[in-house]
């Protein structure tokens, strides 16, 4: 490649990365500020108390509601800090830690991630019902299965605890800036990797290998690569690229809804799963059951009569299934 061609490629690639990153910043920064203010006003504690009775449905003590509340509003890291502070007095079993881990993995960072989904054309209420409702349903099923089978009833053992988060405003701002900077780094690496995979033909091979699963959940080739990204690295990165694809018009409304629905239930299977394992949770629930639940749920939704139309619609048009 000549020097001129290289400069053109770098310029075009940088512009593409910036467009995707700017879309994420516009969604994430205001949400992070609002959520932090709400947290400082006690919203997390209030929501935790409100969720206390709900915890009984999945076999968890009321105090576990505070952990899930923090995760719903913020992220897994915040929830882990609270979990490690509370767990000595909760007396959880491995089964209970696994159920709580499933709740956290399926439904977390909803203000940010539901905002991303909404920008792609999926209404807030759909994301909230699918993820919060799906988390509780899967948690209840696992709780009954573990209890009736007598599995994972031993006390949970903790191998590590994360450092406390910064309490000052300056510390919080520093953490958020660091997070946003890392998102840019990962986004550059990710988009570069996608281009490399496409150039080497590996993307086509991955599509072929995943085609049977993607067909089961109603996704076509155009949504395959982005779904793979979201499943492995997370909905923030996968959906960030998905926003670009949605605006290009290459995906149908049906594919957008199903892809984001699947990513909502099973995303970041590597990083997030490893994080929740630190709680003492078991892979049977936080990985295999979560993945199977996501495939089964989206496969069922894909076969509903409302999904039989596949007209292309932009997010701004407000079209799609009710």
Residue 203: pLDDT band by 50, 70, 90 thresholds?
Answer: low
Q: Percentage of residues in the chain with pLDDT exceeding 70?
A: 82
DSSP structure class, residue 280: T
| Number of Cβ within a 10 Å radius of residue 143 | 20
| Number of Cβ within a 10 Å radius of residue 159 | 8
Report the C-alpha gap between 322 and 123 in whole angstroms: 9
**What are the pLDDT digits (tens) for 265-278?**
998 887 788 889 98
Residue 6 DSSP SS3: helix
Report the C-alpha gap between 300 and 139 in whole angstroms: 19
Instruction: Pick the closest to residue 136 from 304, 275, 297 (CA basis).
Output: 297
| pLDDT reading at 143 higher than 90 | yes
| pLDDT reading at 261 higher than 60 | yes
| pLDDT reading at 44 higher than 90 | no
Q: Which of 79-88, 119-128, 178-187, 309-318 has maximum average pLDDT?
A: 119-128
For the chain, list the strands marked E by DSSP: none
Place of tokens 């450092």: 163
| Number of Cβ within a 10 Å radius of residue 125 | 10
| pLDDT reading at 311 higher than 70 | no
| pLDDT reading at 280 higher than 50 | yes
- Check residue 315 and give its pLDDT: 43
Residue 155 DSSP SS3: strand
| pLDDT reading at 180 higher than 90 | no
| pLDDT reading at 234 higher than 90 | no
**What are the pLDDT digits (tens) for 59-86?**
999 889 988 988 898 888 778 878 887 7
More confident residue, 275 or 127: 127
- Check residue 134 and give its pLDDT: 97
Residue 236: pLDDT band by 50, 70, 90 thresholds?
Answer: low
**What are the pLDDT digits (tens) for 188-201?**
886 787 678 778 87
Q: Where are the domains of the chain?
A: 8-155+175-317
């Amino acid at each position: 490649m000549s020097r001129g061609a290289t400069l053109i490629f770098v310029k075009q690639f940088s512009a593409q990365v910036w467009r995707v990153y700017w879309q994420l910043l516009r969604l994430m920064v205001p949400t992070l500020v609002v959520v932090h203010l709400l947290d400082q006003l006690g919203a997390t504690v209030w929501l935790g108390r409100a969720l206390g009775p709900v915890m009984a449905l999945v076999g968890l003590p009321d105090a576990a509601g505070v952990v899930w509340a923090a995760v719903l509003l913020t992220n897994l890291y915040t929830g882990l800090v609270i979990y490690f502070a509370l767990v000595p007095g909760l007396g959880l079993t491995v089964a209970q830690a696994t159920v709580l881990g499933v709740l956290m993995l399926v439904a977390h960072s909803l203000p940010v991630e539901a905002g991303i989904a909404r920008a792609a054309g999926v209404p807030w209420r759909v994301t909230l019902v699918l993820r919060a409702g799906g988390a509780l349903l899967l948690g209840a099923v696992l709780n009954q299965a573990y209890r009736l089978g007598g599995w994972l009833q031993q006390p949970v053992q903790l191998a590590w605890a994360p450092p406390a988060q910064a309490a000052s405003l300056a510390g919080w701002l520093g953490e958020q800036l660091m997070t946003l900077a890392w998102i840019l780094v990962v986004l550059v690496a990710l988009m570069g990797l996608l281009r490399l995979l496409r150039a080497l033909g590996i993307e086509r091979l991955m599509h072929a290998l995943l085609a049977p699963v993607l067909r089961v959940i109603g996704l076509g080739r155009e949504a395959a690569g982005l779904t793979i990204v979201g499943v492995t690295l997370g909905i923030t990165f996968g959906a960030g690229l998905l926003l670009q694809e949605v605006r290009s018009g290459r995906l149908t409304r049906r594919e957008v809804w199903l892809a984001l629905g699947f990513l909502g239930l099973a995303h970041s299977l590597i990083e997030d799963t490893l994080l929740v394992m630190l709680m003492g949770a078991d892979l049977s629930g936080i990985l295999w059951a979560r993945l199977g639940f996501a495939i089964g749920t989206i496969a069922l939704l894909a076969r509903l009569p409302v999904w039989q139309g596949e007209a292309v619609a932009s997010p701004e048009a407000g079209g799609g299934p009710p």
